[in-house]
Structure 1
């Protein structure tokens, strides 16, 4: 079943009924009230306990009453889990397909103030961690991340988060030899001339995470499918995932990079948690894109720190060995993080080389449970946030 997005809603003397009076419905109201400020808005909900309440001064009635009172209205489905059931319910009561629109929370994000983003994000963090989040009492790393990702985004963070634009900055800071060679830059997937690319290469979108495609044999690749997947990446707004605002102003593009043979045989990612230009914790991830991925944490002196996250990546029984180039990687990480209150610098060290990976200002979006919790507090103790707004 394919439902129309609320982006397709064009009103001409039509009322709006938001179906769903929970948190999702409140977000839908924000969108509708700002996108259509002159339009009458009502709510309907199947929960009888809510039908005597009001949201933003708007009445909450039963779906049956809504259809009776507003048979020509535009109905906005505000539920992540029950949209299909709502659609069927309205259809059975005579509401036409062209009157029903699906709302997704991210549709309203570009209309929100920073404080409104904070309130929505706060609820999600509290549901995940079962801890109260108070803007004036931020102690842990993940708590401070919730604040920083919304209120501290600026032009420099945006530039350094952009996987294309950061390359030039890194060249200026530490030298071109640490940057994976660039093979091409494309505004859309149709621009990619695969005939000009080598047999092996890597394609990635510059404006998010997890949008990488490793091509080991161009002749065996389904180019049509690859173009489709890359175009989907370009159309995806990564900021909508968890309010990581440094992604908001990045101009999406696709970059092609050289395939580093040594790295892809057995890959290790070295991730340095830096605070005020100093490495305080190190994370090593083995085979990050594979099912057997494993991860270890270490302190700044490379003492193993037992620590796990709730994202499914295991901690190996035997910690990883200290890499031969660790001291040089720490030096590079501290050079790149100089003058920044907090950033994670990701590096690779295939063979005898060191390559820059990325600058990560919002590790996991801050939406993760760290076990033991003391590590979350420890990392938070290193982070000196500025004045809280």
Structure 2
């Protein structure tokens, strides 16, 4: 992981130290919440660990593409262009005003959701809930921005809208409901498969092999998802598709919905678990931190002026030195028998 580089030129060390002070003072609530949630004081200017890298993304890296990918409607078009053969759940209606929802909406199995947030879904079936109740809840969603508390800025510029989506018959109880793939600069770090209805999950490495360890949502060992041949096959399919959707982003989580017939496009997650995700197996977060290349971020790819130019140069130098150290370490490590 990226630690303090003693061999870094003094000018870069001083810049990174100053940047840490400035960013901490500029974002005291985020830094304090981070320390309270994760138990240590982060370095938002020169991140080393996975959660610090997430904090850096929220504070520093304002990649315009994040807004597109975070917008649930815009993300559908992005996925279709990147991976045309992957089925995308059909959007049956979209609009800015909940009052314009189709009158006959409650007659079928659909999902109503806004495009600018997470965990906001209304599952409609057989006339329930009633249209008036859906409209009341949708108004509350559209009246407020999402992600302010945790600094998830890519949600804020989205033009808020409501949409109705077909409800897929997910493979709960037989395979899984979701498969979520973490990708760093085109390399799959790990995969998380879950059955939301059965409250079970399993972790896999970048080759689709099962990993030990649990996740915060399903922490008990008896909540492990059964390893069936179909699940393993779908995990491998997701591993093949996810890098095409992720492109050259330094980190992103690509989600898939699972039906008995195959994978469907889910969401693209820029701020996984709002940046506070943890696992009982520390190797997962360590691997994410090793694979996450800040030099591939939009911030370090573009030109800067003034003080930002000094900071970007210092951070690039740190990344370059860290990359050289990693390569040296690999060359010194004996090959396995």
What TM-score do the two structures reach when normalised by structure 1?
A: 0.64
List aligned pairs for 1:356-375, cutoff 5 A: 356-375=265-284
1:234 paired with 2:142, answer yes
Report the counterpart of residue 104 of structure 2 in structure 1: 195
Q: Which has the higher helix share?
A: 2
Structure 1 CA distance for aligned equivalents of residues 65 and 24 of structure 2: 22
Report the counterpart of residue 13 of structure 2 in structure 1: none
Report the counterpart of residue 105 of structure 1 in structure 2: none
1:186 to 69, 92, 95: 95
Q: Cα gap change, 1:154/1:225 in structure 2, threshold over 3 Å: closer, same or farther?
A: same
Is this contact kept in 2: 1:304–1:319, CA < 8 A?
no
Is this contact kept in 2: 1:296–1:316, CA < 8 A?
no
Report the counterpart of residue 252 of structure 1 in structure 2: 160
Structure 1 CA distance for aligned equivalents of residues 232 and 183 of structure 2: 19
Structure 2 unaligned residues grouped into runs of 5+? 1-21, 301-310, 313-337
**Structure 1 residue 145 displacement after superposition:** 0.4
1:205 to 114, 127, 130: 114
List aligned pairs for 1:1-389, cutoff 5 A: 118-175=27-84, 177-195=86-104, 198-217=107-126, 219-263=127-171, 267-287=176-196, 290=197, 292-311=198-217, 314-316=220-222, 318-321=224-227, 322-386=231-295, 387=300
**Structure 1 residue 245 displacement after superposition:** 1.1
Structure 1 unaligned residues grouped into runs of 5+? 1-112
Structure 1 CA distance for aligned equivalents of residues 128 and 35 of structure 2: 46
Q: Cα gap change, 1:194/1:119 in structure 2, threshold over 3 Å: closer, same or farther?
A: same
Q: Cα gap change, 1:328/1:369 in structure 2, threshold over 3 Å: closer, same or farther?
A: closer
Q: Cα gap change, 1:151/1:142 in structure 2, threshold over 3 Å: closer, same or farther?
A: same
Tell me which structure has the larger Cα radius of gyration: 1
Partner-residue secondary structure (3-state), 2:262: coil
Q: Which has the higher strand share?
A: 1
Is this contact kept in 2: 1:139–1:377, CA < 8 A?
no
Structure 2 CA distance for aligned equivalents of residues 280 and 209 of structure 1: 23
Structure 1 CA distance for aligned equivalents of residues 169 and 270 of structure 2: 28
After superposition, the C-alpha distances for 1:127-167 in whole angstroms (9 at most, x for unaligned) are: 11111211344222111101112221322110011001111
More displaced stretch, 113-122 vs 270-279: 113-122
